[in-house]
Amino acid sequence: MLNVPPQAFPAPGSQQRAAAGGRTKVPLKPGRSLMDWIRLTKSGKDLTGLKGRLTEVTEDELAKHNKKEDCWICIRGFVYNVTPYMEYHPGGEDELMKAAGTDGTDLFDQVHRWVNYESMLKECLVGRMAFKPVAAPKGMLSERKVLGASARDTTPSYDWFQTDDLITVVIYTKRKDMNAELVIVDCQDKRLRGEIILDDHSYLVEVDLDHEVQDDFAVNVAGKLGKVEITLKKKDHFQWKVLGLPLESHNTLMKRMERGLFYRTCKLVSKTEVTHDTKLFCFMLPEGTHLQVPTGQHVYLKQIIAGTEVVKPYTPLLPFLPLDFKELSHQDGAHIYLMIKIYSCGLFTQALDHLQIGDDISVSNPEGDFKTSQVQGVEDLFLLAAGTGFTPMVKLLNLALTKADCLRTVKLIFFNKKEDDILWRNQLEQLALRDERFEVQFILSEPAEGWVGKRGKISSSLLSECMKRSKKDSKVLTCICGPTPFTEQGIQYLKDLGYSHKEMHAFTA
């Protein structure tokens, strides 16, 4: 691999980061939309410049193609001529040029590894990199094995037991803070996949089962023991000789960023209008799935549009805003609720809106770096949201108002253009009346003449006015989500006002 400096790809201030959040993009020329790019790839035009001939590319050859009019990029060992894609890239040409003539795999993965570049760029494939063989020092193990060998006392392990009727797979996580949100299980067509989330790593048990099992299964978590039990019901009542055939990633502990996204097929069961351009979608998980999306994390939806896989991230939320959070004793583990703004020119959201009840869509495992421990001990929680940046705040409200023992105040500062853009306004106002710790402030940038609330866009002076600590030295957490310019400006204003890095969290997808 080429030695590429670990710079951000795209850069922190770039518009492509907004595209990762599904909200803001660099303005493209007319005729340069995603649909236009898909049409171009189907046209039969030679997009590689090699007349369909694949070639082996050396490092020296790759480095020569480093200009806008001649730009090759390597991703995971394959080289693509991205020159034709320059004007179609949502993040702009400059972002692609950061990896021009180099291996851009690490840079690509930092922001949008979820993008199916193989599908998007398949007509731009030049060929495979010609790597020089490097002999590993004697005795060197792969990173995967080093993790297990150097930390056997903390690396998870598994075992399995059976009766005539049941198979029980036991995973010993060796953690004392396990809960059901950190366990993801899929069991379909005799394939069992159990993933345990351990901070920025995950442990995977994945086997083709030796015999068939029933669709329903049970997941039990003994949090203090760090033990997870997956109990399967046999279809035929006899003793198995083996659990099954281990798959490639079975019994591995890896960084989550290095473990590919896993999707399962979900069905649309309802679609409800929230505002004039925003709808609440409810997707049902397959019967053989255990999945609870943790607070502050998102999933990816994947659709095939005009023969090309298109993927977008969304943050699941509750189906409604409970007025008494103490009554909310459990999550709905069978459904995923997503509040999505439908854009009139949005290829992905238009396709979503055209889904009929009963139609399928692919939903990924959860991703995100928010940790619920960030709320522990917080006395003042400030939530800054713009538009559908409100979605991660719903579960965060639930978490704070039920589990934050020291909590004094929670204030949602909600930015929108117009009054009819405000999501769940009535529910928020009712919650503010019901719980004295909670306050909501609506701020409009394009209000109607009769609006009596605050006006404007996010600014240092506005935040200084709206964010008041309950006491001088109170422990504070400020969470922010919205279009990328909103988030980046908000973070800078908070820094200017003296908020530390530990007192801020930005939701970026």
Number of H helices, E strands in the chain: 12, 27
| CB proximity list for 165: less than 8 A, separation 6 or greater | 233, 234, 237
pLDDT for res 150? 45
What domain range includes position 298? 263-364
In a domain, residue 2? The reply is: no
* Mean pLDDT (whole number) for 87-100: 86
Shared domain for 387 and 354, answered yes or no, is: no
Cα 508 from Cα 212, distance rounded (Å): 41
Residue holding tokens 């925003």? 278
| CB proximity list for 419: less than 8 A, separation 6 or greater | 444, 447, 448, 451
Q: Which amino acid is at 480?
A: I
Q: What is the mean pLDDT of the chain?
A: 86
Shared domain for 253 and 336, answered yes or no, is: no
Shared domain for 341 and 391, answered yes or no, is: no
How far is CA 350 from each of CA 17, 69, 390, rounded to the nearest angstrom? 22, 33, 21
pLDDT for res 327? 45
In a domain, residue 10? The reply is: no
Cα 494 from Cα 102, distance rounded (Å): 37
* Mean pLDDT (whole number) for 343-355: 92
Shared domain for 154 and 169, answered yes or no, is: yes
Q: What are the residues facing 368 on neighbouring strands?
A: none
- Domain boundary (318, 348, 364) is at 364
| CB proximity list for 502: less than 8 A, separation 6 or greater | none
The one-character DSSP state at 286 is P
Shared domain for 295 and 331, answered yes or no, is: yes
First to last CA, the chain: 29
CA 392 to chain centre: 11
pLDDT for res 141? 35
pLDDT for res 329? 42
pLDDT higher than threshold 90 for residue 109: no
Q: What are the residues facing 311 on neighbouring strands?
A: 302
* Mean pLDDT (whole number) for 108-133: 78
pLDDT for res 187? 95
pLDDT for res 331? 52
Residue holding tokens 């949602």? 412
3-class DSSP state of 233? strand
pLDDT for res 7? 37
- Assign 77 a pLDDT band (cuts: 50, 70, 90): confident
Q: Which amino acid is at 76?
A: R
* Mean pLDDT (whole number) for 419-433: 96
In a domain, residue 11? The reply is: no
Lowest mean pLDDT among 23-32, 84-93, 420-429, 463-472: 23-32
* Mean pLDDT (whole number) for 72-92: 89
How far is CA 208 from each of CA 187, 205, 240, 365, rounded to the nearest angstrom? 10, 10, 13, 20
Total count of domains within the chain:
4
Whether the link from the prior residue into 10 is cis, omega within 30° of 0, is yes
* Mean pLDDT (whole number) for 24-42: 80
In a domain, residue 135? The reply is: no
Q: Which two tokens stand for residue 87?
A: 């004007």
Enumerate the H helices of 265-424 as residue ranges. Answer: 347-353, 391-403
- Assign 149 a pLDDT band (cuts: 50, 70, 90): very low
In a domain, residue 400? The reply is: yes
Q: Which two tokens stand for residue 48?
A: 């590689």
Lowest mean pLDDT among 51-60, 155-164, 422-431: 51-60
CATH of residue 317's domain is 2.40.30.10
pLDDT higher than threshold 90 for residue 136: no
pLDDT for res 116? 76
Q: Which amino acid is at 462?
A: L
Shared domain for 177 and 113, answered yes or no, is: no
Considering only CA atoms, which of 412, 409, 408 is closest in space to residue 383?
412
Identify whether the C-beta of residue 196 lies closer than 8 Å to the C-beta of residue 173. Answer: yes
Identify whether the C-beta of residue 507 lies closer than 8 Å to the C-beta of residue 393. Answer: no
3-class DSSP state of 302? strand
The one-character DSSP state at 59 is H
- Domain boundary (258, 290, 314) is at 258
Using the CB atoms, write b or e for 207-244: b if 16+ within 10 Å: bebeeebeeebebebeeeebbbebebebeeeeeeeebb
- Domain boundary (258, 281, 312) is at 258
CATH of residue 377's domain is 3.40.50.80
pLDDT tens per residue, range 151-167: 456 789 999 999 999 99
In a domain, residue 326? The reply is: yes
pLDDT tens per residue, range 464-492: 999 999 998 899 999 999 998 999 999 99
Shared domain for 171 and 184, answered yes or no, is: yes
pLDDT higher than threshold 60 for residue 25: no
pLDDT tens per residue, range 191-249: 999 999 998 899 999 999 999 999 889 999 988 888 999 999 999 999 999 999 999 99
Shared domain for 122 and 23, answered yes or no, is: yes
Highest mean pLDDT among 18-22, 326-330, 432-436, 438-442: 438-442
Shared domain for 270 and 201, answered yes or no, is: no
| CB proximity list for 261: less than 8 A, separation 6 or greater | 113, 114, 300, 364, 365, 367
| CB proximity list for 278: less than 8 A, separation 6 or greater | 339, 340, 341, 342, 388, 423
Q: Percent of the chain beyond pLDDT 70?
A: 88
Cα 128 from Cα 56, distance rounded (Å): 5
In a domain, residue 451? The reply is: yes
Shared domain for 381 and 502, answered yes or no, is: yes
In a domain, residue 192? The reply is: yes
Q: Percent of the chain beyond pLDDT 90?
A: 60
Cα 485 from Cα 17, distance rounded (Å): 10
pLDDT tens per residue, range 268-314: 999 999 999 999 999 999 999 999 999 999 999 999 988 888 899 99
Shared domain for 402 and 336, answered yes or no, is: no
Counting Cα atoms < 13 Å in the Cβ hemisphere of 271 gives 17
Identify whether the C-beta of residue 452 lies closer than 8 Å to the C-beta of residue 442. Answer: no
Q: Which two tokens stand for residue 339?
A: 């509040």
Cα 234 from Cα 271, distance rounded (Å): 36
Which phi and psi angles does 47 have, rounded to 5°?
Answer: -95, -5
Shared domain for 495 and 395, answered yes or no, is: yes
